[in-house]
Structure 1
Amino acid sequence: MPNAELPQAKRQKMANKTIGTHNGTFHCDEALATFVLKQTDEYSDADVVRSRDPAVLDTCDIVVDVGAVYDAEKKRFDHHQRGFTDVHYGLEIIAKRLGTALDDPKVQYVWLKLYRDFIEAIDAIDNGISQYDSDVPARYRSRTDLSSRVATLNPRWNEPTGAQILDARFQDASALTGKEFFQALDYYRDSWLPAADLVKDLITSSKQSADPSGRILVFEQFAPWKEHLFEIEADENVPSVEPNQAIYVLYPDEAGGNWRVQAVPVSPSSFESRKSLPEAWRGIRDDELSKLTGIDGCIFVHASGFIGGNKTKEGALSMAKKALEL
């Protein structure tokens, strides 16, 4: 019977592409890989085939995490092989989720962030790559990462198992990884990208209203600024901002209506500051601090000098300006 005469549902089933991966105990990486592939136009209706039989895998349109071959042209992606150096398909999915064109610079930006903060660890864990170059035992053990939680979805040693049970559990694992993948992606879309734009705008406005030198940045609302600031300083396309230029950042403390003055760290994750608040101010509070500084409304300066507080924006700005002089 010609395909045109077959019922539509059956023709569709016969036309579906297939994503191949290994059967048996499943892991986070292939559970996520199959989910991600099904978000693309090419594989949105694909069936997932779980097998280690080379003859079965050879019938699949694309194979991930099994097969001992890494060849992008043949669509064979076993990331355990030496040739595994690239990433694929992510840009299309990110562009869709952002609702923008594939060549939008934000797509590449989010793609790199998502790979670094979400995907890379999953690849590394599956390939047995240690997070630290050290033989010193870890101080504690964590089993709450995504790879560990996927592993717990496999049947326990004293539970019933078999191909049908494992395949059903694999679907649960794929859904779990997909949910968290999109949560991470949506965070960059809905929070991270707007914060990057806001920090750029606030750097410009700070130079106009608070400190033309750019050493003091005044943010009229709090935003996660550290990583954005360092990225902007390193961006050659933003010539008005120089590396190590910003020394203090001011922003409102939304909980209490006060203002904070925070020293910019030497790196986003460092506890060392480019210029801490003056040592003589550290650990001093309230009226005693106001008398010491000659600035009304002082609330505190942390004992390490990385942050201080004032009741008003003007007071916090005065603290930052005076700290620059000392």
Structure 2
Amino acid sequence: MTTEQPTKRQKMSTQVIGTHNGTFHCDEALAVYLLRRTKVYAEADLKRTRDPATLDTCDIVVDVGGVYDEGKQRFDHHQRGFTEVFGHGFNTKLSSAGLVYKHFGQEIIANTLNLGKDDPKLNVLWLKLYKEFVEAIDAVDNGISQYPSDLQPKYRSRTDISSRVGHLNPAWNESVDSQTVDAQFLKASALVGGEFFDRLHYYANAWLPARSLVAAALTNRTAFDPSGKIILFEQFAPWKEHLFELEGELGVTAANQPVYVIYPDETAGNWRVQAVPVSPESFESRKALPEAWRGVRDEELSKLSGIEGCIFVHASGFIGGNATKDGATAMAKTALTI
């Protein structure tokens, strides 16, 4: 009687990511790091080469090869006629980082945060990370100036992520053997990938919850004050960027826009009333606090305004303070009428 030996399970072949060797850049360093956060390429090996025959053996190739074809898993952007952009209002030509992020970014974010593919937060974060992190890498790699040609910056900055990755390349008088350069590439990939995921966790765990608070306060503002001109936050949260975006998304007209925001001071235990600016970066307010209050403080301000607990109003009228929520609310409501 013979006993059959159990069939040995064949080990699945390892996926291989290909990119070019030699001097590396931020875009492929991030692209490789991101690919290793996908299900398919999580355990992938890496080949850095410009040899076409070797690249042909790779399962996916980024930043080399002269081909952009998702079906073939080829993601280069150097070929003549390449004009791919991210879309969704973004018009910067993509580098290998943007290409990989465009096609794999939602999966990577969903895997990292354990989100379902239909979770509305997924698309919000995907667009936010492109705007705040990936787009600049695309622009730098493609030689797109941040400023119009007629503007000259007053200083140079070389501490951006693309520059820091570039600094990890060996200097002209250091060894450029493949082992040394490949090791430095892995450092660069870890650097830019680590910063990407730091940003992702910040936007998921801090930025997105703030957006939810602002959305609720904006939607419910007439329950606090029938005019709809005052927003109340029961806790401090960064609100400016979210407010302007949400006003657009919710179709808030100019006539119905809030002009004052009330929130607790994050350190002093007092309350603040702040005028909404005309744009997120503007120093001009939709309706500044009354001119007569500006630069006046404490008891003098309380007497002038007829509101107890006043602490200050800034000389420009963009912000004021009161000891209580009721006092800050009274300042905002009174300011509406002046």
TM-score (norm 2): 0.88
Contact 1:247 1:263 in 2 (8 A): yes
- Name the SS for the 2:85 alignment partner: coil
Greater shift, 285-294 or 315-324, is seen at: 285-294
Distance 1:130 1:222, change over 3 A: same
What residue is the counterpart of 1:270 in the other structure?
282
Q: Does 1:136 align with 2:151?
A: yes
Structure 2 unaligned blocks of 5 or more? 1-5, 87-101
Superposed displacement of residue 24, structure 1: 0.4
What residue is the counterpart of 1:167 in the other structure?
182
- Name the SS for the 2:335 alignment partner: helix
What residue is the counterpart of 2:112 in the other structure?
97
Q: Does 1:27 align with 2:25?
A: yes
Cα offsets for 1:57-83 (capped at 9, x unmatched): 122111111122222222211133424
Contact 1:70 1:84 in 2 (8 A): no
Cα offsets for 1:105-129 (capped at 9, x unmatched): 1111100000000000001001100
Superposed displacement of residue 90, structure 1: 0.3
What residue is the counterpart of 2:230 in the other structure?
216
2:246 aligned residue (221, 229, 232) = 232
What residue is the counterpart of 1:318 in the other structure?
330
Greater shift, 127-136 or 180-189, is seen at: 127-136
Alpha-carbon distance in 2 for matches of 1:45, 1:225: 40
Cα offsets for 1:203-233 (capped at 9, x unmatched): 345432x312221111111001112112221
Alpha-carbon distance in 2 for matches of 1:68, 1:30: 14
The percentage of aligned residue pairs carrying the same residue is 64
Alpha-carbon distance in 2 for matches of 1:167, 1:242: 55
What residue is the counterpart of 1:198 in the other structure?
213
Greater shift, 280-289 or 307-316, is seen at: 280-289
What residue is the counterpart of 1:50 in the other structure?
48
| Equivalent residue letter for 1:218 | L
Q: What are the within-5 Å matches in structure 2 for residues 105-124 of structure 1?
A: 105-124=120-139
Alpha-carbon distance in 1 for matches of 2:291, 2:103: 51
1:146 aligned residue (150, 158, 161) = 161
Contact 1:70 1:83 in 2 (8 A): no
What residue is the counterpart of 1:298 in the other structure?
310
Superposed structure 1 runs of 4+ greater than 4 Å apart:
4-8, 241-244
| Equivalent residue letter for 2:317 | G
Superposed displacement of residue 263, structure 1: 0.6
- Name the SS for the 1:303 alignment partner: coil
Q: Does 1:74 align with 2:72?
A: yes
Alpha-carbon distance in 1 for matches of 2:68, 2:210: 38
What residue is the counterpart of 2:204 in the other structure?
189
Superposed displacement of residue 5, structure 1: 8.1
Alpha-carbon distance in 1 for matches of 2:9, 2:22: 34
TM-score (norm 1): 0.91
Alpha-carbon distance in 2 for matches of 1:74, 1:270: 47
RMSD: 1.9
| Equivalent residue letter for 1:221 | Q
Superposed displacement of residue 281, structure 1: 1.6
Superposed displacement of residue 292, structure 1: 1.8
Structure 1 unaligned blocks of 5 or more? none
How many residues were matched structurally?
315
| Equivalent residue letter for 1:186 | H
What residue is the counterpart of 2:265 in the other structure?
253
| Equivalent residue letter for 1:175 | A
Alpha-carbon distance in 2 for matches of 1:164, 1:76: 25
